[in-house]
Amino acid sequence: MGTGLIGGSIGLGLRRRGWWVTGRDVNPARQARALELGALDEVGTDPEAMVTFIATPAGAVAEEAAEALEHTGAVTDVAGIKGPVLAKVDHPRFVGGHPMAGSEQEGVDGSDPDMFEGATWVLTPAANTDAGAFATVRSVVSTLGANVVELPAARHDDLVALVSHVPHLTAATLMNLAADTALEHATLLRLAAGGFRDMTRVAAGEPAIWPDLCVDNRAGILDVLDRLLVALGDVRQIVATGDRAQMLDMLERAREARVNLPAGAPSSEKTAELRVPVPDRPGVLAEVTTLLGEMAVNIYDLEIAHSAEGDRGVLVLVVDALATDRVRQALHIRDFRCSVRRLGP
């Protein structure tokens, strides 16, 4: 549902991997263009769909989700803010999602089947999330090449304020400061070398989604903005006093953090399979996956194996082999036992 840049890219990516994709858009021209570009097999709604992606603006998700949830498949969305969406759509087969790619909306013509290759795709399972629906969404998203990170919705919203919303607002503010130096604007911009270009690049994105994001994530953004204002005030103080040692320390910490920013998915062949017997009750899945998410342990694969009796299942997780001991301990503290099997060579 929704065949813009993200919806179109999902459609292209899934079709290339052999899926049958039915879709539609409120805008008939965009819908026709998506069909023409090969993002859809056919226009419409498929009541038998295994999974429905709602790739509309955040405000339209609830209505679309209600309709999709009348059928039996899993339903997910791509809105950049998850708390307000989940507050409106509270259903075991709805899994909140946020692909962290392609934020500079360019419309369906910018669609790219590889858009999510190596990108982080957050899923926000809740206490009542159905394990089967979650596993389906997770598996389909993974086939697009994305690295799935599980987080509680509220945590997601706080973190994106820090790594996306406030940086975006700061980039726009820096760009406007430069632009406001009107008399010598053009000269100034000719001095703007790579660093300034990099820093302000996101400010070139389509602004339309931001007013909603700023309202929906107000608390998270204000918290981070306040921390940024304090931190910049500290920097101002360091400059004012000319304290070279403190300046160097500040920049060296930043350098170390930036250098360690992970460049993409780890390509380790050394993975291990964790088999975690879990009671078939609501909340277990969210508890385990968000625990690993917060430990920054990447889940390369996830499967739910139900027992024949139906009241107990086995959660099968593939993770980095080096993380298995940490994971086992953390699970143990929460009364889960797991068996470990090394994979790879």
**C-beta closer to its own copies: residue 140 or 160:** 160
Q: What angle do CA 194, 116, 48 make, to 5 degrees?
A: 155
> What minimum distance in Å lies between the beta carbon of 3 and its own copies?
22
User: Considering only 11-19, 258-266, 267-275, 313-321, which stretch makes contact with its own copies by CB under 8 A?
Assistant: 258-266
* CA distances (Å), origin 108, targets 36, 43, 63, 206: 11, 15, 22, 14
Q: Pick the piece of the chain touching its own copies (CB under 8 A) from 8-16, 65-73, 202-210, 305-313.
A: 202-210
In the complex with its own copies, the residue whose CB is nearer, 100 or 321, is: 100
Residue 270 touching its own copies (CB under 8 A): no
Residue 173's CB: how many other CB atoms inside 10 A? 12
Q: Whole-angstrom Cα distance, residue 116 to residue 329? A: 32
Q: Is 67 in the site for its own copies (CB under 8 A)?
A: no
321 near its own copies (CB under 8 A): no
Binding flag, residue 26, its own copies (CB under 8 A): no
3-class DSSP state of 308: coil
Least distance (Å) between residue 144 CB and its own copies = 15
Does 191 engage in binding with its own copies (CB under 8 A)? Answer: yes
Tokens at 23, concatenated:
């879709």
Q: Which is nearer to its own copies, 111 or 170 (CB)?
A: 170
- Segment 88 to 107, residues that bind its own copies, using CB under 8 A: 100-101, 103
Tell whether residue 262 is a contact of its own copies (CB under 8 A).
Answer: yes
- What is the C-alpha separation between 154 and 330, in angstroms, rounded? 22
3-state DSSP assignment of residue 76: strand
Among 247, 318, 321, 340, binds its own copies (CB under 8 A): 247
Nearer to its own copies, 21 or 146 (CB): 146
Please list the alpha-helical segments (H only) found in the chain: 5-16, 28-37, 61-68, 83-88, 131-143, 153-160, 166-180, 185-191, 194-200, 210-216, 218-241, 244-259, 284-294, 324-333
Question: Looking only at residues 127 through 186 of this chain, which bind its own copies when binding is defined by CB under 8 A?
Answer: 147, 149, 151, 155-156, 159-160, 162-164, 166-179, 181, 184-186
Residue 236 in the binding site for its own copies (CB under 8 A): yes
Tell me how far, at minimum, the Cβ of 205 lies from its own copies, in Å.
Answer: 7
φ/ψ of 129, rounded to 5, equals -70, 135
Question: What is the smallest separation between the CB atom of 190 and its own copies, expressed in angstroms?
Answer: 5
* Helix locations, 90-217, DSSP H: 131-143, 153-160, 166-180, 185-191, 194-200, 210-216
Min. distance of Cβ 338 from its own copies in angstroms?
A: 21
55 sits near its own copies (criterion: CB under 8 A) = no
Q: Count of CB atoms within 10 A of residue 305's CB?
A: 11
Q: Any contact of residue 322 with its own copies (CB under 8 A)?
A: no
Question: How is residue 206 written in tokens?
Answer: 């389509």
